Amino acid sequence: MRVLNYTLYDYQQALVKDMALACKEHDHVIGQSPGGTGKTKTFVYIGTQVCNKGGVTLILTERKNVYNQNLNEAAAVGINDESPKFVHIEEGCFYVAMTQTLERRQSIIDQFNKLQCDLYIIIDECHSGRYSNVLRKLTKGKRLGFTATPDYRYAKHLPEFYNSCVTTHPVQWFIDKNILCDYQHIQRKSGKGTDKLEKKAGDFTATSQRKFFGTEAHYQELFNDLKEYPFKKCMLFCASIEHADEVFARMTTAGFKCSINHTKRKDSVYQVARFDTLDETDIIISVGGMTTGYDFPLVDLIVLYRATTSLIIYLQMLFRGDRKKEGMFFRCLDYGSNFDRHGAYFADHPWKDMWDQKLKNNSKEDAAAMTTCPKCESMISVSAKKCKYCGFLIPEKPRIVEPGIAEDVTKRFDAIAGKKISELTPKELSLYANLKNKKMFAIRVAKSQEQVTPGFLIEFAASMGYKSGWLDHQPIPEERIEFLDIVLK
């Protein structure tokens, strides 16, 4: 009997329960929870329960540091390049495998496929497509994928291997509960030209980014910012290995205490140790290898010295700074206009829909309700009267606005605070939808209100700026549509 030395939090227990229910109906399920909320402990708990009932649990991972973390957490049998080529798979046992190794060990895969007991395959960071080949070979068992960012647009394998997605709370909920850190996002104006960078396979090319961020003006801006903004530990993300090497050389020459970590560095383990364990450096420069599986709570500055069209990559970089720390705060310096594409780290995303379909205009919805502080350049709410980072009082300017959403967002949200959703007019509901990024929920409410107040949906659509043809794709069922009648805060 395996016994864990920890107890899950209520939100983790709820995720376990919801995934168990979904698994009974759908077999293969994604569990979504923000970075820093304990997904590893959650799936090790699930795997332990499976083993204690005589089943077999297999955790798949693609990175060595994550492999070691999972292996220690689960006290499991490891399958990697250093383990024997033949491992006997036994009922009631827990296994952790490097996916690249298991893919080459057909004799071990055959044992998993012939098991007569329950087999649960847990995929850590399942948004990565590197698991596809081995998952196609593992023909038995139920799959439980875990990730903070199940976005179909950049993970098109998800619908092939999973049938459902279960989510926990949004980032803002964890911030409010003092579980994750709040943050300050400073987007530098010099990054506005990144949209003109060359694209390939949907994202900006490493070559064009290295050229763009390699100008002397960009380097001087970066150096000045790192001297101006205080931090304990900083993670700086680049667009490629060559870019990282160049930035490392420039920053070291400029006198910054830096480490560097990427797959071509033979001393990567030592470089990371210099940054965290040995405390010899306060900045670590990397590419993609540290966007997952690296948790160092002291990190309080994230530097995005690159641009990306991927919401997954963007959020995974920001999640490196959200762990509990003194002050419960981190800062992001964004040189690639990434905020304009993806919005705030605490924005609420419809992951239940995003895992298997491409949502239109999803990337910019969150940024619509934010603006830049004139003094410190932090991203703040458009309705803010005072910058919460530098204390600057935002002057009221005469505005020429079109009637509708723009005016509502800036001036009228206070008027609906304290009201129930069911009490909102169509125009007020559209304000709520845009400001809080709750468009799908607001459409559901509007349809429900249409059932008792004919014409509500038409007015709502007009306030949202939808074209007339949109209404043709909004069927109203005979049965009353139910919704959670929350009070606006």
Within-domain flag for 357: no
pLDDT of residue 223: 97
Please provide the average confidence, as pLDDT, over all residues in the chain. 89
Taking only the tens place, the pLDDT of each residue in 21-59 is 999 999 999 999 999 999 999 999 999 999 999 999 999
Position 377 pLDDT exceeds 70: no
Position 197 pLDDT exceeds 50: yes
Within-domain flag for 451: yes
The 3-class secondary structure across 380-437, one letter per residue, is: EECCCCECCCCCCECCCCCCCCCCCHHHHHHHCHHHHCCCEHHHCCHHHHHHHHHHCC
Helix axes 456-464, 426-435, angle to 10 degrees: 40
Between these two residues, 150 and 196, which has the higher pLDDT value?
A: 150
Residues 255 and 343 in one domain: yes
Residues 179 and 164 in one domain: no
Three-state DSSP at 223 gives helix
Q: Has this prediction a pTM greater than 0.85?
A: no
Match 């964004």 to its residue by tokens: 334
pLDDT of residue 374: 75
pLDDT band of 410, cuts 50, 70, 90:
very low
70's CB contacts (< 8 A; 6+ apart) are 40, 44, 59, 61, 76, 96, 124
Position 235 pLDDT exceeds 50: yes
For residues 262-285, give the mean pLDDT.
Answer: 96
pLDDT of residue 356: 92
Length of the chain: 489
pLDDT of residue 46: 97
Of 103, 134, 168, the residue at which a domain comes to its end is 168
For residues 245-256, give the mean pLDDT.
Answer: 97
For residues 67-87, give the mean pLDDT.
Answer: 91
Of 168, 201, 222, the residue at which a domain comes to its end is 168
pLDDT of residue 399: 42
| Residue 420 per-residue DSSP state | B
Q: Are strands 379-381 and 370-372 parallel, antiparallel or unpaired?
A: antiparallel
Q: Tell me the two tokens of residue 128.
A: 């990565």
Within-domain flag for 393: no
pLDDT band of 439, cuts 50, 70, 90:
confident
For residues 163-185, give the mean pLDDT.
Answer: 96
Residues 340 and 255 in one domain: yes
Position 365 pLDDT exceeds 60: no
The CA distance from 41 to 302, in Å, is 25
Q: Tell me the two tokens of residue 396.
A: 């009221």
Between these two residues, 362 and 293, which has the higher pLDDT value?
A: 293
- The helix or strand, by DSSP H or E, that contains position 23, with its residue range, turns out to be helix 10-26
Residues 98 and 211 in one domain: no
Pair 189, 372: CB distance under 8 Å: no
C-alpha radius of gyration, the chain, whole number: 24
pLDDT of residue 369: 55
Percent of the chain clearing pLDDT 70 (strictly above) = 92
Residues 84 and 124 in one domain: yes
pLDDT of residue 65: 81
Domain that holds residue 23: 10-168
Query: Rounded to an integer, what is the distance from CA 329 to the centroid of its chain?
Result: 17
- Count the domains in the chain: 3
What one-character-per-residue DSSP string does 77-107 give? Answer: EEESTTS-S-----TT-EEEEEHHHHTT-HH
171's CB contacts (< 8 A; 6+ apart) are 34, 180, 322, 345, 346, 347, 348
Report the CATH number at residue 72: 3.40.50.300
State the maximum Cα–Cα separation within the chain, in Å, rounded to a whole number.
74
Q: Tell me the two tokens of residue 436.
A: 């809080």
Residues 373 and 455 in one domain: no
Residues 164 and 200 in one domain: no
Lowest mean pLDDT across 181-185, 331-335, 411-415, 453-457: 411-415
Residues 182 and 162 in one domain: no
Within-domain flag for 400: no
Residues 188 and 161 in one domain: no
